[in-house]
Amino acid sequence: MFEGEKAGLEAIIATGTVPCPRPNNIYDNGDGPGSIFVMEHLELRNLDQHAAALGEAVASLHLHNSRLMLREKKNDGRIGGSHHVTLEENGEEEETQRSVSQFGFGTTTCLGYLALDNTWSDDWVDFFVRQRLKPKVDYIEQKWGDRTLIELWPRLVRHIPRLFRGIDRITPALLHGDLHGGNVAETATGPVIYDPACFYGHHELELAATQDFVDFNQEFFPAYHRLIPRAEGFDEREKLYKIFCYLNYWSHFGPKYKDEVIALSTELLAN
């Protein structure tokens, strides 16, 4: 869990888009249980004044890989062009980065206490169904054996590809992976995010969890969508992505989230 969190923080920091605590090291807890993850101390307070700045920063995080791809494409048109892209900030060169063309992540990360299958995939819809939704459905079936969910699942799987017909191409975006009100804050100078479950995925998935927390929605979303406008079919895909969020809550906290999963699934299948 800590190794995945450390890798996620390092990946976010490498983009230079959203401030987050710099990881230090992971230590075994001596003879006691568990481990200890040491990271940079920040003076955090509840997100208030910097909600719009957070929206812009998260949009920039989601656009970072696309921008790398564009720069690489320009490099390919030059004699001796390279896929490596050197980013510059404040007149100083930063470490050379390469874009990512697949969905997944280089190491296992955890959403809550459950591990995510981040095996690389070329197809987002297949990745989302097989490596995000299905493991949650299987976990719930094994633990609670819910018949309604089991019966809805095959119909939902057949329906999902229709929700992406209006999108020509989904470019992998680095996601925080668990961006809700409990994992954002601010310092005196700007917003901060932490406790990531990073992977490269569809940027719209990131927005689904944030909708459930009204503490920063009013300024966050307009700022975000100024940089990344809503695409055709956004509202229906948002329901799909909320199903994943509620399946995750159900996996961690029990069937009290069943009604949301069933209602959203039924609504999607009715259209």
| C-alpha distances in Å from residue 67, one per residue of 63, 73, 83, 100, 123 | 6, 10, 13, 11, 20
Radius of gyration of the CA atoms of the chain, in A: 19
| Residue 101 and residue 70 in contact, taking contact as beta carbons nearer than 8 Å | no
Structure confidence at residue 43 (pLDDT): 96
pTM attached to this predicted model: 0.91
Structure confidence at residue 76 (pLDDT): 73
* Residue of 190, 240, 232 whose CA lies nearest to 211: 240
Q: Which domains does the chain have, with CATH numbers?
A: 2-270 (3.90.1200.10)
Structure confidence at residue 84 (pLDDT): 47
E strand segments, 82-226? 88-89, 92-93, 110-111, 114-115, 173-175, 184-186, 191-193, 199-201
**Which residues form the catalytic set?**
178
Structure confidence at residue 181 (pLDDT): 86
CA atoms within 13 A on the CB side of 30: 2
pLDDT in tens, the chain (271 residues): 999 999 999 999 999 999 999 999 999 888 888 899 999 999 999 988 999 999 999 999 999 999 999 999 887 765 444 444 444 544 444 457 899 999 999 999 999 999 999 999 999 999 999 999 999 999 999 999 889 999 999 999 999 999 999 888 899 999 999 998 889 999 999 999 999 999 999 999 999 877 765 466 678 999 999 999 999 999 999 999 999 999 999 999 999 999 999 999 999 999 8
- Three-class DSSP category at 162: helix
Structure confidence at residue 112 (pLDDT): 93
* Residue of 107, 116, 111 whose CA lies nearest to 180: 111
Structure confidence at residue 29 (pLDDT): 84
Distance between CA atoms of residues 262 and 115, nearest Å: 24
Structure confidence at residue 95 (pLDDT): 52
